Amino acid sequence: MSDAVDPSYRWNGAELDLDAYLARIGYDGERTPTLATLRGLVYAHTTTIPFENLEIILGRGVPLDMEPLQDKLIRRPRGGYCYEQVGVFAAALERLGFEFTGISGRVVMGAHGLLPATHALLRVRTADDPHAWLVDVGFGAGPLEPVELTAGRGEFALGAWRFALNLAYGPVGEEEWTLRQFGRDGWIDRYTFTVNPQYRIDYVVGSHYVATAPRSPFNQRPFVQRFLPVAHHVLDDTTWTTAYPDGTEEMRALEPAELPKVLAEVFDIELDAADAALLVRAEWPAAVARRVR
């Protein structure tokens, strides 16, 4: 959606250091709003910037203003969760002239009951292709490319990883899409989403809920991901899992003292000495609950 359509629909693109962002993700391709550029940006961002909720675990907030986002995700070797990642990526798309809207997904996998729509996504159009594309750079588990929003898409592979996209219609006739993925337990639903536009202020509200709500898993324990073409690394509390495209997994239990080293070497997250020491103390709610049992 362009400023000409809605002057309030802006993504802070003018504040983004575009050169620094593209250098951070290792993208040196064309800077035109084409499908090839979009594919290159999604691949580079997804395989470079990790997913992490460590600011919450370290007792800090998660600001979505461009300056703190740039400092964390671009200048320092850190990552972020979906609202942070989409904030930076949307700013880059705005600078490059893409047409897009924010949308929200409702996570299904691992959910116990209905959850709010708190996963940030983008619906993007390019200058050289008539289709709309789903872009998900903030889930922590790909896809490595944009996904064409086509009703009959069904199962497909992006690199070695397998996905499926299905379309149904809600109670008042609205489109409701479901993205599925293949893993250890076979095919599972990842999330559902509609294409109703979301503004940055909507993401601020969603981010606040994710960071503070008692039901949110992201304020209970560390959750970090690094998605690569042939492996998906996940740190959930103190369990490090490496998943592969064929559905196999390797798991290892870590001691809190090992976390800073594993974060740096596997997840490309560098903590300063003070934050590393704080993390090693393991004072997040899930760890405290284990100690008092």
Residues belonging to the active site: 82, 119, 136
Element counts in the chain: helices (H) and strands (E) = 9, 13
Angle at 134 (CA atoms; ends 153, 231), nearest 5 degrees: 85
Could you tell me which residues are beta bridge partners of residue 99?
A: 125
Q: Hey, is 165 helix, strand or coil?
A: strand
Cα separation, 90 vs 121, in Å, equals 10
Could you tell me which residues are beta bridge partners of residue 180?
A: 164, 189
Burial class, 252, CB count within 10 angstroms (exposed 0-12 / middle 13-18 / buried 19+)? exposed
Q: Hey, is 196 helix, strand or coil?
A: coil
**278's tokens:** 């704080």
